[in-house]
Structure 1
Amino acid sequence: MPNRPAIQRHEWFAVAVAVIYFFCVLAAYYVLRPVRDQLSAAVGSTALPLFYLSTFTATISLTPLYGALVARYPRRVFVPVVYAFFIVGMIAFIPLFQLQDTIGPRLLGSVFFVWVSVFNLFVVAVFWSFMADLFDAEQAHRLFPVIALGGAAGAIAGPVLTKALNDVTGVPGLLVVSSLLLGVAIACMFALARWSREHPVVGDERRDERIIGGSFIAGAIETLKSPLMRRMALLMLLGDAVGTVIYAFLVDYNGTANTTREARIDFSANIDLWVNVLQAVFQITATRVLMMRVGPSAALALDGIVKAVMLALFAVFGGAWIAIAAIVTRASAYGIFKPASDSLYTQVDAETRYKTKNFIDTSVWRFGDVVVNGSLNGLRLLGATSPMLALLTVVAAVSSASIGWKTAQLLDGGAARKRAGA
């Protein structure tokens, strides 16, 4: 439908609220991310496997609770409950940071690293599951790149707020700001739930009232059982391998180049700022064009190619090039890969959207962190250099491009056959 408007009249309200919603979600996260990342830089990448193992353990522990909510309540109940849980957690950290000298910065920092990492996983995963539940596949191809711009703007605003407030309010003030942003996100969620009742997905008019049911381990079972979900999990693991390796290199560079906490926070905030500016550029240009004209397959393939090129260049130039590689690959991951991969979930059922997707986006992702970081340290002990590790990771990037292309083609072909049969 070449002449179809990018956003139809009845969709404008939903798109505008979704943009604000995603802005708040990512701003809430990126206000705190530089604080978390400077803790990683302080201890070095060799400590990351312990951090990630703790995060993985926390993720696995929370997954049954999330699964129980999804199984027993409609989305208008369990989505705000997830966000409220993290708001309470943020507020609880305020007195802990005020007692930092008593508790000890290393212990508090480790716990905070885990909390912010789990926060990112669940809050963002729930957002995209909710979006996939509001729109059909055709709408997702048109609207997701636009909605993702709200996240890009929030991801830019987050580190800017951190840089502005860090010396004024300290970490407690940043926690309050993050909590307020999540409160606005809950209000947006309720507004979108109302809109969806007035404009339901054709053929699934009672989606808002539906209780998904099933057990809390349904997401894990479906991931193992379904060939499609196994592909999605593998795609996640390959992308995570690239991101985790580059993050480890960046952590070491930050710790070496910046010797104070303030300098490390400022460096991390600057990286986040440039990542999210470039992410917005990708979304406005490549992602939107590819998603509307070709579909998600081309966007997924492009992401893998971009990552492979940047890793190869880091292997050649090394040193400060890691900052450029981190900016470009992370911007591609969130500006190209994420909108494209999340749009694929519009073509699966509700249980897959909320349980299997969440399992892949949280437990599988953090399992990948543990394995990749452990393997990275092991290879270093065997004498592998950073250029060697970067070139090895190129294989993961190229594989991601290939599998992403084939998976999206498979889904799009199946959807076309269903439409023809109907």
Structure 2
Amino acid sequence: FSTTQAKRLFGMIAGGASLGGLTGPGLGALLVAPVGHVGLLMLAALLLAASAGAGVWLYRWRDRNPLPAGAQPEEESRHVPLGGNPFEGAAEVARTPFLIGIAVFVVLLASVSTFLYFEQARLVAEHFPDPTRQTQVFGLIDTVVQGLAILTQIFLTGRIAQRLGIGVLLVAVPVVIAAGFLWLALAPTFAVFVVIMVARRAGEYALVRPGREMLYTVVPPQQKFKAKNFIDTVVYRGGDAVSGWVKRALDLLGELPGLAMFIGAGIALTWAGTGFLLGRAQRRREADPEAPARRS
């Protein structure tokens, strides 16, 4: 997709994941009794096969509908593999400031998510010692998150991207989460945490993730298909692991229970600043499609 198409469509496309996340657990709960776990596994296999078929159809659709000249940073061959070695994605990130910015954004995202995940585990264990009750609470939270995400993806994400720009998608959620961390530091209750967690997850699915994917519409194929994989796997999981160690170390300072929340607020504000800079860089690249190819 071109950047213009991405702004219009990526929110709606992301709604498919949220719709699956909302209906999948419902189907499991509804069908486990009549068809059993073996039947559910067969259904899952059929759904995966249907997904693969949809992917094949999409590749054919892409070949029948090429982008107009100038709509992408660099002319890409549809059928010739890029080649190279497995480490080129890391090299592309290391030598491209725009990709370094995306990598930093992903690390900060993973850090915020990990901080909230550990806090969730602590608060749920304190308030709901019964495992069955914990499952019910998580199910309710997930249902609310997916419902809000779908509504936002269908009705707001595309309009925000088209009218206000990708930067707004990348900044809005981090700012809200920074305020949420401060709120949680001052009022560490389960109700406050639920509000923050719902805002973070729904916002990430509906705004941050589509916005992050839109950033790659203005980079050459070498970066789009290699650097992106490196960032989405090695960088994301590495940030997840390191932030988990940091959060655990802060938890050991039992006399300062709010310290982790204040640090989380600082991380979220840095995350917002990185999103703002990425949105501005994306606009420059969109205005001059040849610039990324020249810099590469």
Q: TM-score, normalised by structure 2?
A: 0.88
Which structure has the highest helix share of the two? 1
**Stretches of structure 1 lacking an aligned partner (at least 5 in a row):** 1-134
Q: Secondary structure at the match of 2:288?
A: helix
Tell whether 2:143 aligns with 1:277. no
CA–CA distance in structure 1, aligned partners of residues 124 and 36 of structure 2: 21
Q: Which moved more, 1:295-304 or 1:253-262?
A: 253-262
Closer/same/farther in 2, CA of residues 384 and 286 from structure 1, 3 Å limit: farther
- Distance change in 2, residues 1:373/1:171 (3 Å): farther
- 1:150-229 to 2 correspondence within 5 Å? 150-165=16-31, 174-203=40-69, 207-229=77-99
- The DSSP-based 3-state class of the residue aligned with 2:286 is helix
| Partner SS for 2:92 | helix
Paired residues, what number?
286
- Report Cα offsets for 1:271-312 as digits up to 9, x if no partner: 221111111233234422220112101111112112112222
The equivalent of 2:294 in structure 1 is none
Residues 272, 253 of structure 1: CA spacing in aligned structure 2 closer, same or farther, 3 A cutoff? Answer: same
State whether structure 2 residue 18 is matched by structure 1 residue 148.
no
The verdict on how the C-alpha distance between 1:245 and 1:184 changes in structure 2, with shifts beyond 3 A counting, is same
Q: What residue in structure 2 maps to residue 341 of structure 1?
A: 212
- Residue 248 of structure 1 aligns with which residue? 118
Unaligned runs of 5+ in 2: 292-296
Deviations 1:381-422 (A, max 9, x none): 1336443211211111111111111112112112213479xx
Does residue 292 (structure 1) correspond to residue 159 (structure 2)? The answer is: no
Distance verdict in 2 for CA 1:413–1:363, change over 3 Å? same
Instruction: Check conservation: 2:11, 2:158, Cα contact below 8 A.
Output: yes
What is the identity percentage for the equivalent residue pairs of Structure 1 and Structure 2? 28
Checking the alignment, whether the CA contact within 8 Å between 2:76 and 2:221 is kept in structure 1 is no
CA distance in 2, matches of 1:264, 1:413: 47
Question: How far did residue 262 of structure 1 move?
Answer: 3.7
1:298-317 map, 5 Å: 298-317=168-187
State the distance in 1 between where 2:140 and 2:164 align.
34
What do residues 69-118 of structure 1 show as CA deviations (whole Å, max 9, x unaligned)? xxxxxxxxxxxxxxxxxxxxxxxxxxxxxxxxxxxxxxxxxxxxxxxxxx
Residue 127 (structure 2) aligns with: 257
Give, in whole Å, the separation in 2 of the partners of 1:343 and 1:306.
Answer: 21
Q: Is the 8 A contact 1:246 1:326 kept in 2?
A: yes
Is residue 405 from structure 1 mapped to residue 271 from structure 2 by the alignment?
no
Structure 2 counterpart of 1:68:
none
| Native 8 Å contact 1:200 1:207 kept in 2 | no
Q: Does 1:392 align with 2:277?
A: no
Q: Is 2:226 the partner of 1:374?
A: no
Instruction: Tell me if the contact between 1:300 and 1:401 (Cα under 8 Å) persists in the aligned partners.
Output: yes
Report 1 or 2 for greater relative contact order, CA contacts < 8 Å, sequence distance ≥ 6: 2
Alignment of 1:417 with 2:288, yes or no, is yes
Q: CA RMSD in A?
A: 2.3
Indicate conservation of the 8 Å contact 2:181/2:265, yes or no: yes
